[in-house]
Structure 1
Amino acid sequence: MLSYRHSFHAGNHADVLKHIVQMLIIENLQQKDKGFYYLDTHAGVGKYRLLSEESEKTAEYLAGIARLWQQKDLPEEIQRYVNLIKKLNYGGKELRYYAGSPFIASLMLREQDRALFIELHPADYPLLRNTFKDYQNISTKRDDGFQQLKATLPPKERRGLVLIDPPYELKEDYDLVVRAIVEGYKRFATGIYAIWYPVVLRQQTKRIIKCLEATGIRKILQIELAVRPDSDQRGMTASGMIVINPPWQLESQMKQILPYLVKTLVPENTGSWKVSWITPE
């Protein structure tokens, strides 16, 4: 189908959550000198112009990154995330661009680290390829991102992060995520897997969690940020990250960060958050 374009949603509350979690995991991997592998299965174009026709049409970033942009009291972890976005905006005088997960990774990777960015969309892939064509340790590929867990794992580095962020425009995506995780985990059980999910209908979220529980995989952490209560009306009410083999600090870090995000991103007082284990160690 391939109708989903992330440019309509870049920088929204879901991106804020996803990219803070991504940053914290990469920071943890960097605590060791040995290189790591980063796989982004649904990479998009890499970076987004917030003043584009697509972005301006929804202006979702105004209730996301824009609400953090000029805050003076940011917690340290959130400040580091905002600083990454400011690097893309020539020091941060004006918010004009937003970094997708590939660009955030590119800003953080060291010489000894390696990344593969996958995108299937025929219009998005050329933009992704051109953005990263001069990076020595980054490869791009037009392909089905789910297949790359089978094709590229385990990495030679034997440590790394797999970010899985499908559009969920097809109901099958929920099942494909679980199948891909099972395939990847068989090959690379010590890797960190971070799966983004939207909450549009809560039953779909419950389904993916139930399926992950049934895999028998241990150490699965759920992190969720809601901007309004669950509803059967159209639209995303919340989003979350499911992290397999999370760094030990991630649970406590997110418990400190999420109350601030709810207060700042959801001034209407309709928001909530949760950090809980789907399956403990």
Structure 2
Amino acid sequence: MLSYRHGFHAGNHADVLKHLVLVRCLQYLVQKPKPVCYLDTHAGGGAYSLADARAQKTGEYRDGIGRLWQCDHLPSPLQAYHDQVAIFCGASLDAYPGSPVLAAQLLRDVDRLLLNELHSSEQQVLKQRFAADRRVRVIEGDGYVGGLAALPPKERRGLVLIDPPYEIKSDYERVVKWLKDAHRRFATGIYALWYPVVDRARIDRLQQAIKASGIARIDLYELCVAPDTSPGMGGSGMVVINPPWQLRAEMEITLPWLAERLAPEGGGRYRIVELAGE
């Protein structure tokens, strides 16, 4: 069994980017009345305490959501994300909502959430958290297998979040194959793939493989708070297939702002790349 636990990293700079993109994509989807299906291939526990030993040990949230919490005049897309975090934790930043909770807050009674999770302990947390929410189904096991089996959703509209821990290096190849298989089943869905920037050469190969996949309409949004040569995860990115048409313009405003404020001593940078057009 893999050992990754997101509680150590909840609310960090990578979560800010991932959940900014997630919130904006879902907000655009629910503007239309037809039902939406949200599919999460690696759901985790749904939400995390920032006061517990894991979060306090790393303190990563302090340089992520912590740097935004008391900011005035956030860019509009970032304010939308901030508001969703505040709905969950209130005025005090002692907890942080994961992707399942953010999605549940944004989706409506007519929508569905399919939450895949491999770890049995996290499965139980998810089931308890959403026990009274009839929109939610927790799928136990490998998120790639369960996620693909759930496609296409009956709603024919939706967002798929692929957020593996990348503990196994083959995940970088597996996600590309998975995206191609999933897109063949559900070509009109929005897909949001998160990746960590730990090894730039590996990210370059991932980017080229996705670009060569034959899938149309793909954007890449990347935020780095440390040089590529720094130890650990210096940044992260989101690859979005079928992005809402406003999303790129929003990222062009928001990513420079985040790169300046989340990076120590102004060392941040960002990338916005169109991997595939129409």
Match of 1:246 in 2: 243
Code of the residue aligned with 1:263 in structure 2: it is E
Alpha-carbon displacement from aligned partner over 1:60-100 (angstroms, at most 9, x marks no partner): 000000111111121222112111111112x32x1100000
Once the 2 structures are TM-superposed, how far is the Cα of residue 30 of structure 1 from its aligned partner?
1.0
Q: TM-score, normalised by structure 1?
A: 0.96
Match of 1:135 in 2: 133
SS at match of 2:188: coil
SS at match of 1:195: strand
SS at match of 1:146: helix
Aligned length: 278
Once the 2 structures are TM-superposed, how far is the Cα of residue 267 of structure 1 from its aligned partner?
4.2
Runs (5+) with no aligned partner, structure 1: none
Code of the residue aligned with 2:212 in structure 1: it is A
Alignment of 1:47-66 (within 5 A): 47-66=47-66
Match of 1:228 in 2: 226
Match of 2:17 in 1: 17
Percent identity of paired positions between Structure 1 and Structure 2: 49
Once the 2 structures are TM-superposed, how far is the Cα of residue 7 of structure 1 from its aligned partner?
0.4
Displaced runs of 4+ in structure 1, greater than 3 A? none
Distance 1:25 1:264 in 2: 23
Match of 1:276 in 2: 273
Distance 2:196 2:139 in 1: 25
Distance 1:142 1:44 in 2: 11
Match of 2:41 in 1: 41
Alignment of 1:76-155 (within 5 A): 76-89=76-89, 91-92=90-91, 94-155=92-153
Superposition RMSD in Å: 1.0
Which stretch of the first structure deviates more once superposed, 204-213 or 64-73? Answer: 204-213
Distance 1:248 1:8 in 2: 34
Match of 2:70 in 1: 70
For the 8 Å contact 2:11–2:65, the answer to whether it is kept is yes
Alignment of 1:193-212 (within 5 A): 193-212=191-210
For the 8 Å contact 2:18–2:238, the answer to whether it is kept is yes
Code of the residue aligned with 1:206 in structure 2: it is D
Q: TM-score, normalised by structure 2?
A: 0.98
Distance 2:233 2:144 in 1: 23
Code of the residue aligned with 2:32 in structure 1: it is K
